[in-house]
């Protein structure tokens, strides 16, 4: 399909767009290139500023990979991240999707926009502000260094994304189909489960991807609320230090391992993302 704005754009505008796209690509890819190069270096070679090309400027080594993969803590942290991210995603959808449907279909004494604004305000607060209250709460509940504790904390922050996105998705679903189901005797639960949810699959996928990504990448709470048993992979990357300082080759290997699950998840759901991000997700 031909983009009319692009065909009518002048040469200068096109060159500017190309320059911005190239700059954005370089800005995005350089960290991954840095991680890939340093993951096959020894610790000493990571401090050589001009060593970028394998076999020419340094001799590649898989020592850092063997060290990381042989460490039991790596597997434990990876499993913790998978469990916590998946658990947060499921828990946020279970709580947020019905709440979003209620805000889209029912009237409350307080306007639904005000309630949605309250949900959004939960993401405005800096996470560090509520770190101590969450820590004290988990100490009281005896959930420090547990998957359950992290899932509760992550769900509290990511629930807003599910509610806001799914509310606008449900608003875009035609109410005529639901009215026809009511005439046929369908209950509100049947309408929600059998009509509204299937028609909102794209929004569910977008919400799931966002919650999973934010949960997987979160490191502040994981570092403060866990120590050994439930420590996540993001916290493990931050802990790539020794008495000598930062082990950059180990941190590079952990970085590459850490991006694998989100990338795989994206490839499975990418066909839903484009429509889901534009279907109601950007409406007020």
| pLDDT tens readout for residues 194-222 | 888 888 888 888 889 889 989 999 988 99
pLDDT class for 52, splitting at 50, 70, 90?
confident
Cβ atoms of residues 150 and 91 within 8 Å? no
Higher pLDDT, 271 or 199: 199
pTM: 0.82
Range with the largest mean pLDDT of 41-45, 145-149, 274-278: 145-149
Residue 158, token pair as written in the block: 């990511």
| pLDDT tens digits, one per residue of 235-261 | 888 877 665 677 888 888 988 898 888
Cα–Cα distance, 80 to 257 (Å, whole number): 14
Look-up: residue for tokens 């060290």? 67
pLDDT at 281: 43
CB 149 within 8 A of CB 138: yes
Nearest Cα to Cα of residue 149 among 126, 131, 161: 131
Q: Which secondary-structure segment (H or E) carries 246?
A: strand 245-246
3-state secondary structure of 186: coil
Higher pLDDT, 184 or 137: 137
Structure tokens at 85: 């991210």
């Amino acid at each position: 399909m031909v983009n009319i704005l692009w065909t009518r754009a002048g040469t200068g505008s096109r060159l500017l767009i190309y320059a911005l796209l190239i700059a954005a690509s370089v800005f995005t890819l350089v960290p991954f290139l840095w991680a890939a190069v340093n993951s096959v270096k020894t610790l000493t070679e990571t401090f050589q500023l001009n060593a970028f090309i394998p076999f020419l400027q340094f001799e590649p080594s898989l020592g850092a990979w063997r060290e990381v993969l042989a460490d039991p803590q790596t597997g434990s942290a990876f499993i913790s991240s998978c469990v916590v991210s998946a658990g947060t995603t499921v828990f946020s959808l279970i709580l947020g999707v019905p709440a979003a449907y209620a805000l889209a279909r029912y009237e409350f004494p307080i306007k639904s926009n005000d309630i949605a604004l309250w949900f959004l305000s939960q993401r405005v607060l800096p996470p560090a502000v509520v770190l101590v209250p969450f820590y004290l709460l988990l100490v009281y509940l005896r959930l420090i260094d547990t998957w359950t504790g992290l899932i509760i904390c992550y769900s509290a922050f990511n629930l807003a994304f599910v509610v806001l996105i799914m509310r606008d998705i449900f608003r875009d679903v035609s109410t005529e189909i639901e009215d026809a189901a009511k005439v046929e005797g369908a209950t509100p639960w049947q309408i929600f489960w059998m009509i509204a949810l299937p028609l909102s699959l794209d929004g569910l996928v977008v919400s799931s991807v966002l919650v999973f990504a934010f949960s997987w990448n979160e490191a502040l709470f994981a570092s403060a609320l866990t120590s050994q048993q439930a420590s996540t992979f993001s916290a493990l990357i931050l802990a790539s230090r020794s008495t000598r300082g930062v082990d950059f080759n180990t941190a590079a290997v952990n970085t590459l391992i850490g991006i694998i699950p989100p990338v795989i998840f994206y490839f499975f759901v990418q066909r839903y993302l484009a429509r889901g991000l534009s279907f109601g997700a950007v409406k007020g």
